[in-house]
Amino acid sequence: ILSATVDAAADTQGTSAPETVVPSSVPQPKDDFQEELVIRPLHSGDIYASFQFRTLWDTDFMRENKVSHYRLFPKSLGQVISKFSVRELHISFTQGYWRTMQWGQPFIPSPPGAELWVWFQDSVTDVDATWKELTNVLSGIFCASLNFIDSTNTVQPSASFKPLGIGNVTDHSFLRYATLPREIVCTENLTPWKKLLPCGSKAGLAVLLKSEKLFHSSFHSQAVHIRSVCQDWQCKTTSWELRQTVNSVFDLHNSGQAKREWSLFKMFSRTLTEACPLASSSKLYIDITDNPQQFELSPATSLLSQAVVLGDRRTFSVYDLTQETTFGSVRSLNLLIRWKSNEGEMLRPLLHAERYVAGYGLQTGEIHTLMYNNHPYRSFPVLLLDSVPWYLRLYIHTLSVTSKGKDNKPSYIHYEPSKDRVKPHLLEMLIQLPPNSVTEVTVQFERALLKWTEYPPDPNHGFYVGSSVISSLVPSTVAMDTNSTRERPLFSSFFPCKEESSYFVRIYTEPLLVNLPTPDFSMPYNVICLTCTVVAVGYGSLYNLLTRSFQIEEPNPGLAKRIANVIRKMRGVPPL
Amino acid sequence: MLALLMLNILAYMTPNPDKTQIIIHLLSVISQNSAGQFFSSGHTNNWAVLVCTSRFWFNYRHVANTLSVYRSVKRLGIPDSHIVLMLADDMACNHRNPKPATVFSHKNMELNVYGDDVEVDYRGYEVTVENFLRVLTGRLPPSTPRSKRLLSDDRSNILIYLTGHGGNGFLKFQDSEEISNVELADAFEQMWQKRRYNELLFIIDTCQGASMYERFYSPNIMALASSQVGEDSLSHQPDLAIGVHLMDRYTFYMLEFLEDIHPASKTNMNDLFKVCPKSQCVSTPGHRTDLFLRDPGSVLITDFFGSVRKVELTMDAINLTDPIKQMEENPVNGEEQKEVYSYADQLPVSEIIHQKPKQKDWHPPDGFILGLWTLILLVFFKTYGIKHLKHIF
């Protein structure tokens, strides 16, 4: 039973409507903040929570007079945008790997570790220097070691990572992409992230972000996305959008004590008491598409909403936190989701990818990337981006792409070979995946020997190779909504949608961990000792032989002999 | 402030102008004396540099040591912007930690020293001897963010805390390099010559820690160590659930001592020297005060561990700048023809397929190639003679 759905939602949200008369006395607020939380129970018993906090601001960072009055938009990010002439910035920190086959597709994908990709404005003259400074500044803002991003792990993709915001010019020389698969995410990254929110972690949905529960999950990802969006349907003016997202998957056994019963308190060790006072809309969505056979929701709510997301029409129960009635008489909302039965088949994701290293020994190896197309009769194009560090020397002549046993020639290949200690390999291919098939991309490589000062302090851990990025237009089962500015929940409006029959998806493979041949690090000490000993013994002996002369020294004679010698000397006779 | 208020009231109430002048003069003298007392310790700001130099899970206790000092220092008032925290490895979110995002100091798990509000400035591979010395001397690349810099001046009191594995005259960084006591002493001397500190408190909790402060020669440094030369610093107790030793003895008892300190307490350094006697610590903690100008009994703990914000009183009037004028907003003209923006196509297949590859500029051949060809031609003409030239051209 569907009641007033999206129209009701549109009335309560507060972004600027197209025909608004600007009143002369009260200035219209130029910035707007919305927050939402989507909870999606997964078929394996785990639960997926996705937070999105969006700040929209109608301002121009690129004009000469600096912006000085910040209200909802964080000042540190505003200064970064204007100082480095950033057109778009996407940074994510992830712990864990997203298991597509068990959990489906995430709303906002991200690779393990840290990932940063930035589009600069056309006015930037030296993109590489600006990129280096930007990574240093961001490492200070987010307390992460982003200063390790340099030319050896930065690439300039030639066809992937088109801007997600508005823009007509797409000259890829202004795009930079880097990933740090080794980067750890912990409370020290969450703390400055929370400080960027208008309400901090004191009110609204952000009170649920407690590090002890968030980091005890199977997957945790926090990201910041900055881009320009259209203000209205005519799209003659733009505004800056800042989205901060947190995606977490709580494990049934670790956090759930193996009982299929989830509540906000169990997931986050907190309940909701109020919405953020600065937010124009604050909503909680529960995915109930498989209801009522699957689970029971309490407290019940009458608000329902439908949205087309990830190619599927899903139904959501909505809790509006700006209404007092949501919190009930106890003034706190602790949502309870109790499972009734274990049945139900998960919809198999249409696109899925895996990657692994094959081979043995420490000299050569082979990287295999497998891409699965699970659609029964449609084929679709896929853009694969691989960035391999220079110390794995790829033999591109051994690159092979096969589908169903037969050769599948990519329609576009872009390869930039690496340069030792300067830049990594970049391989981009546009491959058409035939329906219901597995496509395998293999390439052989050889491991290089590093100089002994280039090894990290724990070299036997191995060296990471960043995830491959697979961007694709996947056919959708329902018609997608191409009207980009109609009021939609935040989770369905992240990727812009240009056609109705397919939706854009980006998936990341696993990062690889390869062992490089490591030397014995005690050898310099051993060599120094040995060489010094040999030199000392050899030179010392030679010096002694050349310069030491032996003199016979008579021992001191006894008293009798001495007196006899004196007498003999007086007599003129040689001594004894 | 009260003196100024009284001053104003008196000035208004007394009609006689001469009497007013005398009263004003008297009150200003009194307030200046109390202001003088206020500034007796000589420092105006506090900084802390806390370093944990050990990597790997079994060195959990070193991270717990550093975080417990961080926690005390933050509790007593030093803000995150004045603390440079360097942790060589991540224990809280380590996959071996059965309780993620926590670092405990005792097996009763009462105190999570990691907390909810921690900001680590240097972490993982960034904690190297070079970075540590650069932070101390201030010689950092220009693009280093402020949170990673030690922006101290000549009126700063700095607390430096080091922990890890050490030996006689050195401290090991991350299992791959060491810093020697001579280097450390020279770094402090550089700091003194550049006037980067007013007073410095150096605490080290490693084996044979006293060897690290033997070589100091700059003034105004007070040093404490957890063990003498030839002795090992021992750890406190293991936790069987987490599986490692949680903290070192010296820092554990120091943390207990610091938990009793609050921002207004009057405990002095002599009490800190008495922390962890041989009966509790098994090693003999040592200290060095000969380079310090003041008597340790007159130095408050909060001079280094706390942060006292000083207020300067002034009698002069200050002219404020002109108020900021509101920017004039350009009125939105509906009639103006603005260009229509649109979102970029995420995967324009036909555009990508027909994308022309970038034309590489033609460069003239490299010197090596030219030289090689010249050599080949010379050899050819030498062997076969110049008459073959006409066959070529």
Side-chain half-sphere of A12: how many Cα atoms within 13 Å? 18
Burial B46-70 (b: 16+ CB within 10 A, else e): bbbbbbbbbbbbebbbbbbbbbbbb
Res A476 pLDDT > 80 = yes
| Shared-domain flag, residues A392 and A505 | yes
Tokens of B72: 């005390």
Same domain, A332 and A358: no
pLDDT confidence of A64, banded at 50, 70, 90?
low
Same-domain check for residues A225 and A356? no
* A-interface mutation test, from B55, B70, B91, B93, most A Cβ less than 10 A away: B93
Determine the residue of chain A that is closest to B149 in CA distance.
Answer: A140
Summarised one tens digit per residue, pLDDT across range B178-223 is 999 999 999 999 999 999 999 999 999 999 999 999 999 999 999 9
Number of independent structural domains in chain A? 2
Give the A:B interface size as CB pairs under 8 Å. Answer: 152
* Alpha-carbon gap, residue B30 to B156, rounded angstroms: 27
Whether residue A6 has pLDDT greater than 50: no
- Residue A357 and residue A320 share a domain: no
What is the residue-wise DSSP string for A232-268? STT-SSEEEEEEEEEEEEE-TTTTSTT-SEEEHHHHH
**Which pLDDT tens digit goes with each residue over A275-329?**
999 999 999 999 888 766 677 888 888 888 888 888 888 889 999 988 888 887 7
Strands of B221-225's sheet in order across: B122-123, B83-87, B45-52, B156-163, B199-205, B221-225, B286-288
Residue B20 has pLDDT above 70, yes or no: no
Residues A236 and A275 in one domain: yes
Residue B383 has pLDDT above 80, yes or no: yes
In a domain? residue A144: yes
Residue where one domain finishes, among candidates A478, A498, A514: A514
* CATH code for the domain in which residue A385 is found: 2.60.40.1170
**What is the C-alpha separation between B164 and A352, in angstroms, rounded?**
45
Residues A317 and A383 in one domain: no
User: What is the model's pLDDT at position A2?
Assistant: 38
8 A C-beta contact, residue A115 and residue A223: no
- Evaluate if residue B15 carries a pLDDT over 60: no
* Among A69, A38, A6, A434, residue whose Cα is nearest residue A247: A38
Helix or strand holding residue A567 (H, E): helix A559-571
Q: Which of A6-15, A257-266, A524-533, B316-325 has the lowest mean pLDDT?
A: A6-15
pLDDT > 90: percent of chain B: 53
What residues make up the domain containing A443? 351-514
CA dist., res. A238 & res. A256, Å (int) = 44
| Percent of the residues in chain A that have a pLDDT greater than 70, as a whole number | 93
3-class DSSP state of A427: strand
Return the pLDDT at A7: 41
The answer as to whether A571 is a domain residue is no
Residue A549's pLDDT band (boundaries 50, 70, 90)?
confident
Give residue A233's pLDDT: 76
> pLDDT for B216-270, tens place per residue?
999 999 999 999 998 888 888 888 888 899 999 999 999 999 999 988 888 999 9
Give chain A's radius of gyration (CA, Å).
34
Give the residue from A317, A339, A361 where a domain finishes. Answer: A339
SS3 A103: helix
Alpha helices in B39-172, H assignment, sequence order: 60-75, 129-137
Say if the Cβ atoms of A191 and B92 lie within 8 Å: no
In a shared domain, residues A215 and A75:
yes
Q: Is residue A426 assigned to a domain?
A: yes
Do residues A243 and A375 share a domain?
Answer: no
Instruction: Tell me what pLDDT residue B278 has.
Output: 87
Mean pLDDT is lowest, of A15-19, A556-560, B327-331, for A15-19
Which pLDDT belongs to residue A44? 82
pLDDT at A493: 84
pTM of the model: 0.83
Whether residues A253 and A315 share a domain: the answer is yes
The mean pLDDT value for A194-217 works out to: 92
Does the structure's ipTM exceed the value 0.90? no
Of B100, B120, B143, the CB nearest to A136: B143
Side-chain-facing half-sphere of B258: CA atoms under 13 Å: 22
Domain identity same for A376 and A264: no
> Considering the domain boundaries, does residue A49 fall inside one?
yes
| Helix A75-84, helix A127-142: angle, nearest 10 | 170
A498 and A450 belong to one structural domain: yes
Alpha helices in A126-216 (DSSP H): 127-142, 187-195, 211-214
pLDDT in tens, A425-447: 999 999 999 999 999 999 999 99
**How high is the pLDDT of residue A469?**
96
- Pair (A366, A481) in one structural domain: yes
Instruction: Decide if B165 is catalytic.
Output: yes
Asked whether residue A142 is domain-assigned, the answer is yes
Q: What is the pLDDT of residue B310?
A: 63
Q: Which of A134, A212, A472, A484 to mutate to test the interface with B (most CBs of B within 10 A)?
A: A212
Q: A14 falls in which pLDDT band (50, 70, 90)?
A: very low
Residues A296/A299/A303/A308 CA torsion (nearest 10 deg): -40
Which of B117, B123, B342 lies closest to A235 in CB terms? B342
Q: What is the C-alpha separation between B29 and B23, in angstroms, rounded?
A: 10
Query: Is A49 in a helix, a strand, or coil?
Result: strand
Residue A37 counted as domain residue: yes
Contacts of B114 in chain A (CB under 8 A): 187
The answer to whether the CB of A505 falls within 8 A of the CB of A476 is no
pLDDT score at A5: 40
Element at A368 (helix H, strand E):
strand A364-373
Question: What's the pLDDT at B290?
Answer: 92
